[in-house]
Amino acid sequence: MSGHYTNLIIGLGIVSCAFCTYLANRAKLIDEEGLPLFFFPRLLNYLFWLFKEIIISNFNTAKVIISGNVEPEIFTVKASQHTDVARVTYANSITLTPGTVTTKIKNNILEVHALNSDFGDDVRSNEMDKKVKLLEGER
């Protein structure tokens, strides 16, 4: 990051990266979920869908707050994903969507807090669960 790009500096940077990767692999710090490459082919499609849902939820949350129709509920929903990284992606996607927050993950069960039952019904519809499962690579 110094702005000096000589062959020596670039070469030492490559050797340093390779050595760090070798050490991390040897110490068994790298696993199949460390960098979930299986997500990347379908990630862009999922992100477009998620951003659309976040925008829609923002408007719905504002309407609920302005109208005073806040009736919070806590419920559980089953996650159908097979990998930990996919379950965490599902839980984080629920939390990113305004009006809902994932409060606990235990095995394949997620505890969710919703601002009112309409938001809870959106989560219980399992649409997001199916989208994350597609992201994971299953049909």
Query: pTM for this one?
Result: 0.73
Tokens matching residue 32: 């199949």
The owner of tokens 């959106």 is: 122
User: Which of 88, 85, 77 has the alpha carbon at shortest distance from 123?
Assistant: 77
Q: Which sequence spans correspond to the domains of the chain?
A: 1-30, 33-136
pLDDT tier, 1 (very low <50, low <70, confident <90, very high otherwise): low
Q: Calculate mean pLDDT across residues 102-127.
A: 92
Q: What is the pLDDT of residue 83?
A: 84
Task: Tell me the longest C-alpha to C-alpha distance in the chain.
Answer: 65
- Does the pLDDT at position 35 exceed 80? no
